[in-house]
């Protein structure tokens, strides 16, 4: 018999999530819970909705209905940048780095649009490999290092 986790340990709760791209109804009532410290993997064939589920959590789809709670906060009406500030992010597989620029140039190229973003020290403490490779060209990084940079 498993014991229920108290609410303060719940990182993510998705209830009845539906997502749409235009008129196409992609997700049909997804329910999921992720406890703090738990690892969850989405499995399925191509077109099953794995990426759409992640994009829907981040409010990066056309329309969505249902409920998404992150750290106890309802996020269905939140902008993606607010959701990111709650500690959730989406990094697509295609990476989107400037391969001809080095790590430092990639990290300092985007303009500061809004205060409150991560500084270089914080990024390098989270990804020490990037600090070690800060002068390396993007195309010379491993796939994992490119993903960290993205």
What's the predicted TM-score (pTM) here?
0.63
CATH number at residue 23: 3.40.50.300
Range of the domain at 112: 103-149
Angstrom distance (rounded) from CA 88 to CA 65 = 19
Q: Is the dihedral of CA 52, 85, 102, 113 positive or negative?
A: positive
Same domain as 123, residue 53: no
With respect to residue 97, please indicate whether it lies within any of the assigned structural domains. no
Note whether 90 and 59 are within 8 A (CB).
no
The mean pLDDT of the chain is 87
Same domain as 58, residue 14: yes
Banded pLDDT at 142 (limits 50, 70, 90): confident
Structure token digits, residue 47: 């077109």
């Amino acid at each position: 018999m498993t014991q229920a986790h108290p609410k303060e340990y719940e990182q993510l709760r998705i209830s009845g999530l539906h997502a749409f791209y235009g008129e196409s109804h992609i997700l049909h009532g997804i329910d999921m819970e992720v406890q703090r410290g738990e690892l969850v993997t989405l499995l399925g064939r191509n077109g099953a909705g794995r990426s759409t589920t992640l994009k829907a959590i981040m409010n990066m789809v056309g329309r969505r209905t249902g409920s998404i709670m992150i750290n106890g906060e309802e996020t269905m009406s939140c902008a993606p940048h607010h959701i990111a500030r709650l500690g959730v992010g989406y990094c697509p597989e295609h990476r989107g780095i400037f391969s001809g620029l080095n790590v430092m140039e990639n990290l300092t190229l985007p303009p500061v649009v809004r205060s409150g973003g991560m500084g270089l020290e914080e990024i390098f403490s989270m990804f020490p490999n990037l600090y070690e490779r800060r002068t390396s060209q993007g195309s010379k990084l491993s796939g994992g290092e490119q993903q960290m940079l993205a």
